[in-house]
Amino acid sequence: MQQWLERRLLPLVVGVAAIGVAFPSPGRRLAGAEGIPVALAVLFASTGVSITLGQVRQARTTAGRLTVVLVVTSVTLPALAWAASRLTGPGPLRDGVLVTGVAPAEVASVAIAGIAGGRAALTAALLIGSTLVTVVAAGPILAALGATATIGPTALLTQLVLVVALPLAAGITTRATLRPTRSLLSACAALGILALLILLWQVASQITLRAAYVPVTLALLAFLAGSAALGWLLTLGLPPPRRLALALPVAMRDFAVAAGIAAAAFGPAAAAPLGIYGALVLLAGALAVQRPRARTPAAGPER
């Protein structure tokens, strides 16, 4: 089932988003019943199961570059999102665009990097680091950028710990201690994809087809282009496999976490732009996979 879902991810993303927009009531009801944080927790738990301690150890070979990328993106992307959000009018849609800047690397970027020939271990390490930064700093950064949240930074921190950090840690610990079989790993990966699609459906259901979404889409495209350019700059001089592994997660920010933050801090309406952003990001990732694979040396199995 995992391979079936992965091969059809792009049409599934487009179809699920379209269903959410066309028939919004079920998705809105589920989002109103805490469906977004629950799906987010499932997504990060399944992502944690896919990450091995061997991947983390491999990432030590480029710890310096990883640190630079993490620090620069943690400062630059919120500022870039703030600038992009100025293309929209005040209100929840602007807040939704702003939140993209504090989201961590997209969880799907790990799999996409591996498929495209990049060093997935580096992508996984950057995912973990950026997730920790988001959990700790999202609330203060949003406050510093002038966002008026309905909950305080401490409450947002608690929410992110519960639905992101703890499930991710539980998944990594489960992988390290239980050593699940290949079939179980495949089932967890399929569960993660399904959770991703359910999240996208809930977020897309917040979208209403009106003129206000034109500048929102332009703002999100501007942010995506800017983050892709930043990833390109930060990885200059690296071998192609490592460059791809770090540039992808810089360009692709996690729409699911962003939606969870937006819904918690500003209400479900602020999550609507993240449905558009999620479709754009996953489309960009699918296009990256279509490019010639980066040449990468053979490596032994990761433990």
d(CA 36, CA 160): 12
pLDDT-flagged residues of the chain (< 50): 295-303
- Closest Cα partner for 96 from 237, 223, 271, 264? 271
The answer to whether residue 299 is domain-embedded is: no
Range of the domain at 72: 2-289
pLDDT of residue 303: 42
Using CA atoms, how far apart are residues 118 and 62, in angstroms rounded to an integer?
Answer: 14
Token pair for 49:
């199961």
- Asked if residue 167 is part of any domain, the answer here is yes
Query: What CATH number is given to the structural domain containing 98?
Result: 1.20.1530.20
The answer to whether position 300 is within a domain reads no
Q: Is residue 124 part of a domain?
A: yes
- On whether residue 298 sits in a domain, the answer given is no
Of 279, 248, 289, nearest to 12 by C-alpha is: 279
pLDDT per residue as tens digits for the range 42-91: 988 888 888 887 777 777 777 888 899 999 999 999 999 999 999 999 99
- Specify if 297 maps to a domain: no
pTM of the model: 0.79
Q: Are 135 and 155 in contact (CB under 8 A)?
A: no
Angle, alpha carbons 30-169-13 (nearest 5°): 40
Backbone angles phi, psi at 105, to 5 degrees: -60, 145
Give how many domains the chain has, as a whole number: 1
The answer to the question of residue 296 being in a domain is no
**Span 211-249, pLDDT tens digits:** 888 999 999 999 999 999 999 999 998 888 889 989 999
